[in-house]
């Protein structure tokens, strides 16, 4: 029984053709030793039964993937009597690369020019006669999905089984390589290698390890002689030149056999990019977009949706409190549930609507392809400052969370660049800090909430860039390396992607509130209740004493209270905990006090601004410090990161407060 193999690029219609040929006469198994699916079937033509093998979809016959090796080994082992190469007529340039390699192998090939109807719809004109002549192989137009051209294709394939096929697709690889091919062919003349000598010669010059090993296994002496011959060449260069010549060959075929309608040279993406990534306008546009995002966050998240969660939690808190009183629950249980859980965690959860809006808007930017541009714009700025451009990627990731931001610095090859990227990453305002800003903005800057949030993010970037510049000039000096970004085309964001992104963030946020923040709140609540006998949440409690001990450090910055100190202290465990702890300690001070009102009486607008800058820049959270230790493998640098960021934050915070006072702000 004769065997026909089907080979082609993925999505060229190969399996459709296989189904059209074999109908229900199919068997599915695996290729020996691997998990790649093997499909086999039979069909009858002029009273003869033929076996058809559907080889894996591949782009070339290299040895880079399992699929390629399976297809190649199957063909070179002489299993099929003829190969039907399925070529997508709408994407002929790419598909012909495989065709060229098949012909180089000296295999009997019939080209099934599939999806010819789609090519016609796209006004792609293919001169089949010229194509066939140039390739030196029969080309049959088909539409496998409509079973058109199948009869003709089978007839041609069967005809070829009983005919010899000369290698006609002669590619000139240039004088030197052609000469070497001839030399190797001559050398292989009397060797028992079974396969096409032309093909083996090319593969040897390409440095194909599989083929070289195969020669070694069959004839070690021949392999050693070949090795000596090859030692004369720079194989890396030859490999690239050979591939380039194949593309040149394909180009020469398509330029004479294929005519395509002229495509719009300037795409919409190009037009948008000429403005969005403009040398001078790119950065202001980025700033404007982010400003609008923050403004909308407040307009929708606070003005429209604000209060919904807060009111819900208040009603729930009151009901649970009265229930606990009704069942005569112990005072400490009531205190823990109402002050600890509702006063602490509840305060964090109140900001869910704002977070929901912010991440929906960010999701829109991400899904549209804009954030990749934003990264590019940032990169441009960093290069202008003489910094390693690639650092920006970890910075962008740091906007979500500093832990993966620091981990992303692994991609930096240069150790010095990596150290700079690690040390500046915590200045990128992670999402966990948002609730802190929101509380203080609600208390003092609600009319300009978007602007204040925008300025905080911008300040984080500016401080990071300044510190990076200082580090690159002092602690670390290194060279920049070449890299480019691939910008995806713009697309209309899909509702499902944007909503999924929003839900991922909100659900993670809520999960976190129920785990880490809960743990921190519980520990600090216990400290606020001890020692037994003191007034809970008072300065005499352990928590109050810790806060009182730390508080003087923050006095020059305008918030030298034990509550603020405890809040900042808890932020080293987890940034979201700052708001939870402030909520708990202020709720404890005065029953029923809303955190925002408590903040208004404990802070001034100036000290609030100073506090926000502190929370933006000070010591990273424990998880981030942990990952800094892991990535730097140094306690010294971890400690340095914790201390220097605190120092930078403290200095800026003090400057803001003291300069503000000097110019008469309160």
Site residues for other proteins, 232-291, by CB under 8 A, read 234, 236-237, 239-240, 243-244, 247-248, 251, 265, 267, 269-270, 277
Provide, rounded to whole angstroms, the least separation between the CB of residue 124 and other proteins. Answer: 11
Given the rule CB under 8 A, which of 284-292, 333-341, 477-485, 638-646 is the region that contacts other proteins? 477-485
Q: How far is 393 from 376, CA to CA, in rounded Å?
A: 9
Rounded Cα distance between 454 and 470, Å, is 24
Among 12, 200, 364, 430, binds other proteins (CB under 8 A): 430
Q: Which residues from 142-171 bind other proteins, rule CB under 8 A?
A: none
**Nearest to residue 170, comparing CAs of 104, 105, 110, 75?**
104
Q: Cβ closer to other proteins: 190 or 255?
A: 255
Considering the complex, what minimum distance in angstroms separates the CB of residue 436 from other proteins?
13
Q: E strand or H helix at 4, and its extent? A: strand 2-8
Assess contact for 251 and 134: CB atoms under 8 A: no
Q: In angstroms, give the least distance from the CB of 492 to other proteins.
A: 15
Question: Which residues between 617 and 656 bind other proteins (CB under 8 A)?
Answer: 623, 626-627
Question: Is residue 57 a contact residue for other proteins (CB under 8 A)?
Answer: no
Question: Which CB sits closer to other proteins, 397 or 543?
Answer: 397
- The answer to whether residue 371 forms part of the interface with other proteins (CB under 8 A) is yes
Task: Work out the burial of residue 629: count CB atoms within 10 Å of its CB; fewer than 13 is exposed, 13-18 middle, 19 or more buried.
Answer: middle
- If DSSP states are collapsed to H, E and C, what string results for 68-119? HHHHHHHHHCCCCCEEEEEEEHHHHHHHHHHHHHHHHCCCCEEEEEECHHHH
Which phi and psi angles does 324 have, rounded to 5°? -65, -40
> Is 523 a binder of other proteins (CB under 8 A)?
no
Q: Of 183, 311, 483, 639, which one interacts with other proteins (CB under 8 A)? A: 483
Size of the site for other proteins (CB under 8 A): 75
Q: Determine the Cα–Cα distance for residues 504 and 437; give it in Å rounded to an integer.
A: 21
Q: Which stretch binds other proteins (CB under 8 A): 21-29, 90-98, 216-224, 528-536?
A: 90-98
Can you spell out the DSSP letters for 113-173?
Answer: EE-HHHHHHTT-EE-HHHHHHHHTS-EEE-BGGGTBSHHHHHHHHHHHHTS----------
Question: In whole angstroms, how close is the CB of 376 to other proteins at the nearest point?
Answer: 5
**Environment class of residue 242 by beta-carbon count within 10 Å: exposed (0-12), middle (13-18) or buried (19+)?**
buried
Query: Which residue's CB is nearer to other proteins, number 115 or number 430?
Result: 430
Question: Taking the complex as a whole, how short is the minimal distance between the CB of residue 314 and other proteins, in angstroms?
Answer: 23
Q: Which stretch binds other proteins (CB under 8 A): 106-114, 185-193, 336-344, 403-411?
A: 403-411
Alpha-carbon distance of 257 to 167, in angstroms, equals: 20
Burial class (CB in 10 A: 0-12, 13-18, 19+), 348: buried
- Pick 354 or 627: Cβ nearer other proteins: 627
**What angle is formed at CA 422 by the lines to CA 417 and CA 428, rounded to 5 degrees?**
120
Binding residue (CB under 8 A) for other proteins from 375, 422, 439, 557: 375
* Residue whose CB is less far from other proteins, 478 or 560: 478
CB nearer to other proteins: give 22 or 615.
Answer: 615
C-beta of 22 vs 624, nearer to other proteins = 624
Residues 106-125 close enough to bind other proteins by CB under 8 A = none
Q: Which is nearer to other proteins, 268 or 325 (CB)?
A: 268
């Amino acid at each position: 029984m004769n065997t026909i193999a089907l080979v082609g690029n993925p999505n060229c219609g190969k399996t459709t053709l296989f189904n059209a040929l074999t109908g229900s006469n199919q068997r599915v198994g695996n290729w020996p030793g691997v998990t790649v699916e093997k499909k086999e079937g039979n069909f009858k033509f002029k009273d003869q039964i033929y076996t058809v093998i559907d080889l894996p979809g591949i782009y070339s016959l290299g040895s880079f993937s399992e699929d390629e090796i399976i297809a190649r080994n199957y063909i070179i082992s002489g299993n099929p009597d003829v190969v039907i190469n399925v070529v997508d007529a709408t994407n002929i340039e790419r598909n012909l690369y495989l065709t060229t390699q098949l012909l180089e192998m000296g295999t009997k090939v019939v080209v099934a020019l599939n999806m010819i109807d789609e090519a016609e719809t796209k006004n792609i004109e293919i001169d089949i006669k010229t194509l066939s002549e140039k390739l030196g192989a029969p080309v049959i137009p088909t539409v496998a999905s409509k079973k058109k051209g199948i009869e003709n294709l089978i007839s041609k394939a069967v005809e070829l089984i009983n005919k010899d096929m000369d290698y006609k697709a002669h590619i000139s690889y240039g004088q030197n390589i052609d000469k070497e091919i001839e030399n190797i062919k001559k050398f292989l003349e009397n060797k028992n290698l079974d396969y096409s000598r032309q093909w083996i010669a090319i593969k040897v010059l390409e440095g194909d390890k599989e083929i070289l090993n195969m020669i070694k296994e069959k004839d070690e002496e021949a392999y050693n002689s070949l090795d000596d011959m090859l030692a004369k060449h720079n194989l890396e260069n030859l490999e690239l030149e050979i591939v380039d010549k194949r593309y040149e060959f394909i180009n020469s075929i398509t330029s004479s056999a294929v005519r395509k309608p002229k495509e719009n040279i300037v795409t919409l993406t190009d037009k948008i990019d000429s403005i969005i990534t403009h040398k001078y306008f790119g950065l202001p546009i980025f700033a404007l977009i982010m400003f609008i995002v923050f403004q909308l966050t407040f307009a929708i998240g606070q003005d429209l949706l604000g209060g919904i969660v807060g009111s819900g939690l208040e009603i729930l808190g009151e009901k649970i409190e009265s229930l606990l009183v009704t069942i005569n629950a112990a005072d400490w249980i009531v205190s823990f549930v109402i002050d600890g859980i509702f006063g602490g965690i509840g305060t964090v959860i109140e900001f869910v609507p704002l977070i929901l809006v912010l991440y929906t808007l960010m999701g829109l930017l991400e899904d549209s392809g804009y954030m990749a541009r934003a990264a590019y714009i940032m990169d441009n700025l960093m290069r202008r400052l003489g910094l390693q451009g690639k650092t920006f990627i970890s910075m962008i990731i740091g906007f979500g969370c500093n832990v993966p931001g620091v981990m992303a610095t692994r991609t930096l090859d240069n150790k010095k660049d990596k150290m700079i990227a690690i040390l500046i990453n915590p200045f990128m305002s992670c999402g966990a800090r948002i609730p802190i800003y929101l509380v203080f903005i609600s208390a003092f800057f609600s009319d300009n909430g978007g602007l204040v949030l925008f300025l905080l993010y911008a300040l984080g970037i500016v401080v990071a860039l300044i510190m990076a510049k200082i580090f690159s000039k002092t602690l670390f000096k290194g060279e920049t390396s070449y890299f480019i970004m691939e910008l995806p085309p713009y697309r209309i964001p899909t509702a499902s992607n944007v909503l999924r992104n929003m839900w991922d963030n909100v659900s993670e946020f809520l999960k976190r509130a129920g785990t880490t923040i809960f743990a921190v709140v519980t520990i600090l609540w216990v400290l606020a209740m001890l020692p037994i006998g003191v007034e809970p949440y008072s300065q005499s409690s352990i928590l109050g004493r810790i806060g009182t001990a730390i508080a003087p450090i923050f006095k020059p910055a305008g918030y030298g209270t034990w509550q603020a100190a405890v809040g900042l202290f808890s932020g080293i465990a987890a940034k979201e905990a700052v708001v939870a702890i402030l909520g708990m300690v202020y709720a404890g001070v005065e029953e029923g006090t809303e955190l925002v009102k408590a903040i208004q009486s404990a802070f001034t607008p100036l000290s609030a601004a100073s506090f926000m800058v502190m929370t933006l820049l000070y010591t990273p959270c424990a998880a981030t410090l942990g990952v800094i230790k892991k990535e730097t493998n140094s306690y010294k640098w971890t400690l340095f990161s914790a201390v220097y960021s605190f120092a930078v934050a403290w200095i800026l915070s003090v400057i803001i407060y003291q300069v503000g006072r000097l110019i008469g702000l309160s």
